[in-house]
Copies of this chain bind each other. A is one copy, B any other.
Amino acid sequence: MAIKKQRAARRTDALSKERIVEAAIEILDSDGEGALTFRALAAHLATGSGAIYWHVANKDDLLAAATNDVIARVMADLPGGARPREAIRALALGLFDAIDAHPWVGTQLSRAPWLAAIPQIFEAFGSRLEELGVPEEAQFDATSTLVIHVLGVAGQNAANARLHAHRTDRTAFLGEIAQQWAQLDPSRYPFVHRVAAQLPEHDDREQFLAGIDLILGGIEAAHPGSSRRT
């Protein structure tokens, strides 16, 4: 009557883009990227695939929405007030942990740079570099290098997850690759040989952070006035 009706719920559990994205994330997290099909999604939501297309343009649209969802949560959960350098490390680690928990996000980020999440990530890194005192003409290159590092690790992480999805042990999996590397001709691959031993026991998260620190070190070295060493 006088009350302006909201979208009337035809089913008590009405379909909506939010509900669809939520269900998609559940499937992606529990059963992996390959398990997200419109049929599986329709079954999960007790509907037909046609109904889903009323709310979602196509699969890319769905994956983009799911990815933006996860990234937006990361950005919202960031602690504020830290000094620039620490804030950059926290941001990078937050992204790493989200991608580690949802490897499919890594796949999306590394192959869909037009995602709405990308300018958010750009802004977060870039504004911290500004605070750090990096001169304006150097900010674009510095920011994109940090972003590329995150996206690069995201892609590799997702690929690793895809590979040992069915395996039980992650260390065992890295051990197999290490063994392959160790079998290469030592005279042509001396460095790979030396590094193979470190492969099974290395920590992806620490190595990721070491990369961030190297890049930050390079930025500070290129602009010595920008900030004191920490």
Contacts and interface: CB of A to CB of B under 8 A. Distances in A.
Interface stretch (A13-21, A46-54, A81-89, A158-166): A158-166
A191 B122 contact: yes
A144 B221 contact: no
A155 B210 CA distance: 21
A66 B162 CA distance: 21
Stoichiometry, copies per complex: 2
Interface residues of A, number: 59
Contacts of A221: 217-218, 220-221
Contacts of A184: 119
B195 A143 contact: yes
Interface class of chain A by DSSP: helix
A226 interface: no
Interface stretch (A24-32, A34-42, A110-118): A110-118
B152 A155 contact: yes
Contact of A217 (B143, B162, B194, B217): B217
Interface string A129-145: 01000001001111111
Contacts of A218: 213-219, 221
Given A114-B177, A143-B195, A218-B219, 17 more contacts: A111-B111, A119-B192, A123-B191, A123-B192, A126-B191, A127-B190, A140-B207, A145-B149, A145-B215, A148-B153, A151-B156, A152-B152, A152-B155, A155-B155, A217-B219, A220-B221, A221-B221
